Amino acid sequence: MGPRRPTRRQIVQTGALPLFGISLPSLLQGRELSLAPTGKAKACIFIFLWGGPAQQDTLDPKPEAPVEYRGEFSTIQTALPGVRVCEHLPGIARRLDKVCLIRSMTHTDVNHTTAPHLLLTGQPMLNQGQPLREDFPGMSSVLARMGWGAGNALPPAINLMPHSPDKAPRFVEETHGQGAGWLGPVWQPMRIDANPNSPEYSIGELTPSLELPGTRLDERANLLRSLGAEFGPNQTETSAQAEHRERALRLLANRKAAMAFDLRMEPQSVRERYGMNIHGQSVLQARRLVEAGVPLVTVYWPNDGITNVSVYWDTHSRNFIDLKTRLCPPGDRAFCALLDDLEARGMLDETVVVWSGEMGRTPKVGQTVPGGAGAGRDGRDHWAKVFSCIVAGGGFRKGLVHGSSDRYAAEPNTSPVRPADLVATLYHQLGVDPHTVIRDRLGREVPLVSGEILHPLLSNS
């Protein structure tokens, strides 16, 4: 079933009110023809495991450590001889020969709202109390500003941040680094709040059917423009608002582009492979968007609202219960379905997939650290000194384990990797010089990233 025709009221309201979890004119981004993709990769899907997965209970187990460090889980052999992961990541274990596993990520920020700034921008925050608009611009906004996605009716950058069915609090909304920051609102990624696992999820129904005459859509577009020009003296429409409105109208007029949001187009068997849950369907949505030409999609782990004790991957309590039941299984399933689909469609070599949180968890169960939030007897507190992530596709080497942690998964043992290094490498693979100098709002020249390209991780190095 294709998208349904919107009502007259919906067309007009699209210029001002949120529909299906998005407000198109205020969130769609601009594009400039200033740079075309020249790197190995043409797109990136960043699966952000907000909250910080426990490295020793997922990708970097320590089976020889004392039980208070190694935890409750057993380990399983992977596709790489001698490399083991947690028993609750069987899909990743079977596909480890197709990805690059980094076990030595490291930084010092144990704050959930500020640490993501490092992973998403490659830059530290200059002021811990700064508003989001003063952040360094995230990768998605930088790529949009440089012209990625130009000519496509879809926006160049999309953040999938779905609400849970019971509208549980979303601390991820306060996360720094996810937007355009001081680059300006024109380059803010489009944000989708709708739950893709809901039967009512159908962002595509904002698009008029092919039966709607173009002249009528033009008339409604002109009406929106006239409304924008008739604000009072204290409500003047900004250039950003006008630009977003125009892009929203272009999306409304493009039925094919909006079909990328219609998950009903996928066979039920495919949807089930990703998992019939909020995260699984978000990852499937990300694949459809990249396939439709969106260069960068970030999928944020949702607050599923199941427990008030431990939300997201922030397992201060119930660490082993939640990892075993509500975190590892859907995370493993969706990530593996995405890898398989991208490979089967011939897209993996040109699409970078990142699977990472902003930090890890304390080496010892029940350990509390300064700056953290404490830990119950069955939980782990915040820990940024070492954690793990996976990077796949887009010219990254397959079957590589880069770096290692010490015997307690407490600190890097070999080849430490800073978030700035990872972001610099992602920029490089996407054809952008990570040391490109840009000007901030005050006209000061600053490099995109201060990190170094991780050449050992790249297949063409």
- Under the banding of pLDDT at 50, 70 and 90, the label for residue 123 is very high
Residue-wise pLDDT for 334-343, tens only, equals: 999 999 999 9
Range of the domain at 175: 44-197+272-457
User: Is the pLDDT assigned to residue 222 strictly greater than 60?
Assistant: no
Q: Pick from 44, 22, 17: which is nearest to 298 by CA?
A: 44
Question: For the residues 288-315, what does the mean pLDDT come to?
Answer: 86
Q: What is the average pLDDT score of the chain? A: 84
pLDDT at 28 (0 to 100)? 34
User: Is the pLDDT assigned to residue 232 strictly greater than 80?
Assistant: no
User: Is the pLDDT assigned to residue 47 strictly greater than 90?
Assistant: yes
pLDDT at 238 (0 to 100)? 62
pLDDT at 204 (0 to 100)? 46
Enumerate residues 6+ apart whose C-beta is below 8 A from 137. Answer: 121, 145, 179, 180, 181, 182, 183, 187
pLDDT at 311 (0 to 100)? 77
Note whether residue 10 is domain-resident: no
Note whether residue 229 is domain-resident: no
Specify the number of domains making up the chain. 1
- Under the banding of pLDDT at 50, 70 and 90, the label for residue 278 is very high
- Under the banding of pLDDT at 50, 70 and 90, the label for residue 246 is low
pLDDT at 253 (0 to 100)? 66
What are the φ/ψ torsions at residue 370 (nearest 5 degrees)? Answer: -60, 135
User: Is the pLDDT assigned to residue 401 strictly greater than 50?
Assistant: yes
Unique residue bearing structure tokens 């590589």: 400
Most confident of 11-25, 97-111, 124-138, 369-383: 97-111
Note whether residue 206 is domain-resident: no
Note whether residue 8 is domain-resident: no
Question: For the residues 244-269, what does the mean pLDDT come to?
Answer: 79
**Strand locations in 396-451, DSSP E?**
400-402, 404-405, 412-414, 437-439, 445-447
Note whether residue 88 is domain-resident: yes
pLDDT at 211 (0 to 100)? 44
Residue-wise pLDDT for 135-146, tens only, equals: 999 999 999 888
User: Is the pLDDT assigned to residue 236 strictly greater than 80?
Assistant: no
User: Regarding predicted confidence, which is higher, 277 or 11?
Assistant: 277
User: Is the pLDDT assigned to residue 422 strictly greater than 90?
Assistant: yes
Note whether residue 316 is domain-resident: yes
Question: For the residues 435-450, what does the mean pLDDT come to?
Answer: 89
**Strand locations in 149-216, DSSP E?**
157-160, 190-192
CB 131 within 8 A of CB 440: no
pLDDT at 243 (0 to 100)? 60
> What's the per-residue H, E or C state across 330-381?
HHHHHHHHHHHHHHHCCCHHHEEEEEECCCEECCCCCCCCCCCCCCCCCCCC
Most confident of 29-38, 257-266, 278-287, 366-375: 278-287
Of 18-22, 68-72, 179-183, 204-208, where does mean pLDDT reach its minimum?
18-22
CATH of the domain at 339: 3.40.720.10
Note whether residue 231 is domain-resident: no
Question: For the residues 271-279, what does the mean pLDDT come to?
Answer: 97
Q: Pick from 4, 41, 32, 38: which is nearest to 20 by CA?
A: 4
User: Is the pLDDT assigned to residue 35 strictly greater than 90?
Assistant: no
- Under the banding of pLDDT at 50, 70 and 90, the label for residue 216 is low
- Residue 382's H or E segment, with its range, is strand 382-383
Q: Pick from 379, 248, 260: which is nearest to 311 by CA?
A: 379
- Under the banding of pLDDT at 50, 70 and 90, the label for residue 128 is confident
- Residue 296's H or E segment, with its range, is strand 296-300
- Under the banding of pLDDT at 50, 70 and 90, the label for residue 210 is very low
Of 86-90, 223-227, 384-388, 410-414, where does mean pLDDT reach its minimum?
223-227
User: Is the pLDDT assigned to residue 110 strictly greater than 70?
Assistant: yes
Note whether residue 323 is domain-resident: yes
pLDDT at 250 (0 to 100)? 66
Question: For the residues 44-62, what does the mean pLDDT come to?
Answer: 97
Q: Pick from 351, 207, 200, 198: which is nearest to 286 by CA?
A: 351
CB 96 within 8 A of CB 103: no
